[in-house]
Structure 1
């Protein structure tokens, strides 16, 4: 498969996030808003050669579709404790899609956002949306830079604890979606879009991993005595999941998102193995998730900390690491060329897609745990 790329600037749709709703202009691809599968966004219909693969992973893909309707539904009812509007959610999704640089996502979220009325023109509303957007962009681009002050800034503009948990789940979900879509587009041999002058963020500083990986709540967790029936059900469902004991009572501020996220994780784990564990360790190293890196790196810790791009002397293992690092760092530039070494080594499509889904999910999980449990 040849590595094709084309220059372009049409990833960036700032107008639909900043314009007053009274002067709305049509999105570039308005039909992108009307699509049945809001996770793969039409790829399933285009990828005729991949139908057996997609059918094999149908339980995972269905869980991902369900999460789209949970986090980005057609309508949202707000309350005193849940203030994120549909505009807030879609604007955040578009911001993350822009950071990932995956055009298919930008088209979809821009088209859905465009007809919605924006927030009022008060200073408070402007500050609120600006803070949400800045936080989402930072978490999507360089999660290691999220601090306790970043969380406090969201609180200062009126976001509640459930809002902040939902916002982090939303950023994680679109980060995951972007990488699954990028992976499938690479498997289809579609050309990548090259943005001139875009410099990818650097990997997390190795010094970061010398600090303890102990969980520290960024927000006040839900207390058992105040938990709703839905929250108790979500917590019960998560029992026994590795690494969630400390996090679950904080994540359950959004019980539906937690239940959906845990369902997706459970279904993905049915396909995983040692290669997927290494891939997720690479993601944690690149992004700076101390907790996941400590749990997953094992004998790879020293080598991955020294140089991800030359961590293994075994060429096949290094190709697994290289693919994982590329998909974590730059989904917009992920292409068929990155799959070719493993295809040449005899990997089939199911094995490849399993690996790439593990990387994509790690991009969500790492961001979620870093923001809500490692921010200092």
Structure 2
């Protein structure tokens, strides 16, 4: 693996958006034709080989495998708990707080699609996490996600009570926490390894 940093020459996006952004790494990812069976196992889904981000993480396939299975369980296991839209909202709020344009674009787009409330999601992107939200559940999920993201010590029993008062049970509260906590970590990893590219024309 080359230790040299890859320099990109493109106009970087500078605003939060629901549009589909790209992402380019600053370090060389594993070429598709050099991925080993063990690295494919780490990808979990072979389609992720199309992503330079996941091919970069495939340099440590065991950690990538654990990361991807955790990600999938948080967002795709809908056997009870928080609806998918609010899980995506928790990740979008964490990403908006951390300034990760790429992750915010992905999860805000899913939150908008699953909830059919793109204007509410866009308000989060444009106005920030303190922007007004009329839905008490959305307000509670956003507030809890922000507290966890700023520093876990900011998250308190008051946030749990706010989530409970908004109608969430224990499993739904755990889902909100997991979505924000996972992307609090994932944002920082992505921000340190590369940068977003503008939406495709």
TM-score with structure 2 setting the length: 0.73
2:173 matched residue in structure 1: 352
| Unaligned segments of structure 2, at least 5 residues | 6-12, 113-117
Asked whether the equivalents of residues 292 and 366 of structure 1 are also in contact (C-alpha less than 8 Å), the reply is yes
Out of 231, 234, 238, the position equivalent to 2:42 is 234
Gap change, CA 1:244 and 1:282, over 3 Å in 2: farther
Mapping of 1:146-225 within 5 angstroms?
A: 155=3, 207-209=14-16, 213-225=21-33
Report whether the alignment pairs 1:322 with 2:133. no
Within-5 A mapping of 1:103-114: none
Does structure 2 conserve the Cα–Cα contact (< 8 Å) formed by 1:279 and 1:321?
yes
Aligned to 2:164: 343
Say whether residues 1:289 and 2:100 are aligned partners: yes
TM alignment of 1:3-14, pairs within 5 A = none
**Which gives a bigger RCO, structure 1 or 2 (Cα 8 Å, sep 6+)?**
2
Cα distance between partner residues in 2 of 1:292 and 1:306: 17
**1:207, distance to aligned residue in structure 2 (A):** 4.7
Paired residues of 2:91 and 2:180 also in contact (CA < 8 A)? yes
| Cα displacement string for residues 177-216 of structure 1 (whole angstroms, at most 9, x for unaligned residues) | xxxxxxxxxxxxxxxxxxxxxxxxxxxxx95437983211
User: Could you tell me whether the CA contact under 8 Å between 1:238 and 1:244 is conserved in 2?
Assistant: no
207 and 223 in structure 1: CA distance in 2 versus 1, 3 angstrom threshold: closer
- Determine the C-alpha separation between the residues in 2 that align with 1:244 and 1:291: 16
Written as runs of structure 1 = structure 2, the 5 A alignment for 1:26-65 is none
Instruction: State the superposition RMSD in angstroms.
Output: 3.0
- Structure 1 residues 225, 315: CA separation in 2 closer, same or farther (over 3 Å shift)? closer
Q: Give deviations 1:2-25, integer Å, cap 9, x for gaps.
A: xxxxxxxxxxxxxxxxxxxxxxxx
TM-score (normalised: structure 1): 0.41
1:361 counterpart residue number? 182
